Structure 1
Amino acid sequence: MAATEGQLPSTQITTEYLMSYVAPLDPPVPIDDSLLIVNVRPGGWVKGPKIDGQFVAPGADWLRIMPSGAMRLDVRGLIETDDGAHIYISYNGIIKSTPEVMERLNNGDVLTDRDIPYFIAAPTFQTASEQYGWLNDIQTINKMTEIQFGPEGYVKYDVFLVR
């Protein structure tokens, strides 16, 4: 076996746009220096070629702040589609930013993926709906495109199917 064989990929990953969504957020509740809990308020929107809806209660984000300053997402939410189906979404991910950018976020600034370039998560879905049952069988990734903390807080993601 050549030394380079183990260093080269033997497959390719591709992505396909699935949807975008905006989840309205309450201001973060600090538990201690290593944990914030952010409630997801009802509303917002979910839009994609095969899905339209909004977030309904319950939902929240448990945000762990690691010693390195990186943050680990643990998010659970509920989507209600425009045709009445319920879809559970859960994901873990990583946010890597600078203290200065996080201060801007905590001060209520609207930040984008240019401000926080590494804000990536891996959602999975669960539903009993026949129309949306295909979501049960896929892995997705999402990337934050906008976020704001404060009374009018929200997060916006683009979501991609991974193949």
Structure 2
Amino acid sequence: MGPNFRPLFSIAFTSTPRLLGDVPAGYLRRISAISGGEFVGDRMRGRVLPGGGDWVVKRHDGVMHMDVRALLETDSGALVYMTYTGRLVVPADMVLPPPPDAGNELYFRSAVQFETADHELVWLNNIVAFGLGAFSSGGPTYEIYELL
């Protein structure tokens, strides 16, 4: 019996990456300020509020670890804190962001958590979710799924 899941929403972030460079620990650090975006799904939709961020570390083996925090606002005005960690694996010779036709050459996955006090969305606090990522010209995009 395999896992069951259902789509939660698609999300597109607009962000401005800044390359910090090689830090003393020997890793490459990149920090992106989230300036906005939007999300659309059957059960919720709205916008990404400015102020979140994406703290990426590229390890010695080339794998990138993501640490992202974002604040979402639904069309009804509810606030949802979204956090995720994950891995981005690209071929060694690929530049970032990768070209739009990179497709299956990327492994771009995340484990997503939500927090909200909104009584209609409180169910988000208890789900397990994951995201499949890609790049666009404005920033990263994800398809977010609820694991059932």
Q: 1:7 aligns to what?
A: none
Q: Find the structure with the greater CA-based Rg.
A: 1
1:21 to 2:11 alignment = yes
Matched residue count = 144
Q: Greater strand share, 1 or 2? A: 2
1:147 to 2:135 alignment = yes
Q: Tell whether the 8 Å contact from 1:80 to 1:87 is kept in structure 2 after alignment.
A: yes
1:67 to 2:60 alignment = yes
Give the alignment's TM-score, normalised by structure 1: 0.81
Q: 2:45 aligns to what?
A: 52
Q: Distance in 2 between matches of 1:104 and 1:74?
A: 17
Give the drift of 1:91: 0.6
Q: Distance in 2 between matches of 1:75 and 1:114?
A: 23
Q: Distance in 2 between matches of 1:14 and 1:138?
A: 13
| Unaligned runs of at least 5 residues, structure 2 | none
Q: Tell whether the 8 Å contact from 1:113 to 1:119 is kept in structure 2 after alignment.
A: no
Q: 1:40 aligns to what?
A: 34
Q: 2:122 aligns to what?
A: 133
Give the drift of 1:104: 5.2
Partner SS for 1:68:
coil
Q: What pairs up with 1:112-131 in 2 under 5 angstroms?
A: 113-116=103-106, 118-131=107-120
Identity of aligned residues (%): 26
- Once superposed, what is the RMSD of the aligned Cα atoms? 1.8
| Unaligned runs of at least 5 residues, structure 1 | 1-10
Q: Distance in 1 between matches of 2:125 and 2:96?
A: 37
Give the drift of 1:30: 2.1
Q: Distance in 1 between matches of 2:146 and 2:55?
A: 24
Segments of 4+ moved more than 4 angstroms: none
Q: Tell whether the 8 Å contact from 2:58 to 2:64 is kept in structure 1 after alignment.
A: yes
Q: Deviations over 1:142-163 (max 9, x none)?
A: 001x314xxx531110011112
Q: Distance in 1 between matches of 2:103 and 2:18?
A: 20
